[in-house]
Structure 1
Amino acid sequence: MITKFRGEEYIMHRNAKNPIITKEDFPLETNAVFNCGQTLFNGKTLLLIAAYYKERINNSMCGIHVATSEDGVNFDINPKPLFLSDNWSGDCPGLFDNWVIDPRVTKIEDTYYIIRPGQVRGSGPCALLYKTKDFETAEFVDCVALPANRVPCLFPEKIDGLYVRLDRPYNVHCPEEPECIPDTDILRASIWISYSPDLVYWGHHRPLLYPESVSYSNWKIGPTPPIKTKDGWLEIIHGVWKEDGEFCYSIGAMLMDLKDPTKIIGLLDRWILTPTEPFETDGRVGNVVFPCGAIAEEDKDEIRIYYGAADEHIGLAKGKLSELLEALKNSKAPY
């Protein structure tokens, strides 16, 4: 097991009740509850929780459920799934199934947009966009990213008249060319930025951040929905370190310019959360802390990250927003 990144907590501090949501807390029998989208809704904390069921629901082995909380720690979980792995409806050809996990949610004006993976048989994961105003139902918009790209994350407002997103395209398999050597750039995954007039058609794609830009990542790096602050766009990221066939998923942060998010104005070289607790190091996929977003409240000087732990539980880490922003402003930008 990779332990090289372990150390004292830095900026973010785990909740004393961690893990705050386990499979035993779920209203249905599940094998795992994990990576969750997160937002504020009607004055409450709302999570979109991914769950793997012990028994199929409408022929589905996994789904996404809405959970709400008054205090941000104790959650009421809706037993009715918002998404199931086989409830595809739309006019796009082909079969979209499973991979109903890792949802990202962004509020734009009065609408909440959810992006979650879909699986195209033989092609890897793509990204499906939905919208809702009540989290009771979600309307399908379109498939907005080709395989293999399952984690697009929307900015909460337009910039220069265009919607903006971060995503993480990657190669599913190494090409068959003889010069393709495993563990080279062809298999590593970076964060990209792109723009759209309508949330469906995306262009002006540009690479933004590479895995080796931070000390805790040498393999993959991925985004969450950016958060607007007075100092810039706050971006919570995950980084993956690969060593001797093992992986370690850690959580980090960067800061982008408000007017031009292609400019990274702050990047922490070290993680703000890395697997150290038994519920993070041991599980279905050990050595994983994985974010699908964060909730920041400037009036409370607080940032909360609800994260998947070892693909089996959900943990909560909390910190002072001002402390994180100050650390980012004092950090060295990569470019």
Structure 2
Amino acid sequence: MNPVVSTESSAAGLRLARPAGRRRVPVVLTCLIFALLLLVPVLAQVTDTPYLLLQFSRILVLALAAIGLNLALGYGGLISFGHAMYVGLGAYCVAVASHYGADSGVLHLLLVLGVTAVVAVPVGLIALRTTGIAFIMITLALAQMFYFLAVGLKQYGGDEGLPIHQLSRFGSLTGSHLALYLSLLACVAGSVWLMRRLVASRFGLILRACSLDVRRVRASGTTPLPYLLLAYVLSAQLCALAGFFLANLTAFASPAYMAWTASGELIIMVLLGGAGTLMGPVVGAAGFLLLEEGLKAFTDHWLIVMGPVIVLIVLFLRNGLWGILSPAPEDH
């Protein structure tokens, strides 16, 4: 019997056996979270605190990048220390195009997705030839290579970064923080829906099987590389899309977006929220940034407190913060 087919049948049986009420818990919580996020602009307007909209826009940018990383890390078992490279790449595509007078938003998006694909495919092919610590080191090394390339390009600001004087033009919506926030929210919601569809498909089943035991997947007659490469490229595209939004949010592109520390923060967000869960990256990004802001308000030594808190959550909560909110298992 084909192990993949057998696993599909077992998974279907588990879904049928699970009580309908428990299956609905994650869906209801997901809808509630997005409803609350939709109310943020209203709250910012009522309380006259535009900073609130900017703060949650930043949360959604990082949530989008974390969703991308979660596809590779949470479902594919690919521990990448280089995904911030794609966030920076997306931001620089917008900044460099604007630097030469090209401000069309559609052109910026096509440029971001095209350049990211051109970079992610060869990087993925190289990195996926290895496993474990070697994969981690290759992704880290290649990301640092792009980081130092950005630092060395003095005509584009070098280590000081490149200001964006012409944001991505989308007609009357250009420069509107509300339009940017709602676009971000729609992209995050769409990405969660896409992840749900992907994870529930044959592609998702094989990807999760690869994270457990690649040799058994090969023994079943399936070649893992195309599935892992597709997961890597898709995750890179979502991170680059986050970079596109980040550039338009800050009107700036910086080599710091590509630093290995930024990749480490994305990994923390995925683990904090719950790796291998649909809403974990969103909850993890929100928890990370809100915890950071809250601790900064109380002490200048906030890192001393934040570090142990994150470690304890990751160690003792198998599904992270999402596991607290939704103890019921997700129905993929």
Pairwise TM-score range, normalised by the shorter structure = under 0.3
TM-score by length of 2: 0.26
Specify which structure has the higher proportion of strand.
Answer: 1
Work out which of the two has the higher radius of gyration on C-alpha atoms and give 1 or 2: 2
Which structure has the highest helix share of the two? 2
TM-score, length-normalised on structure 1? 0.26
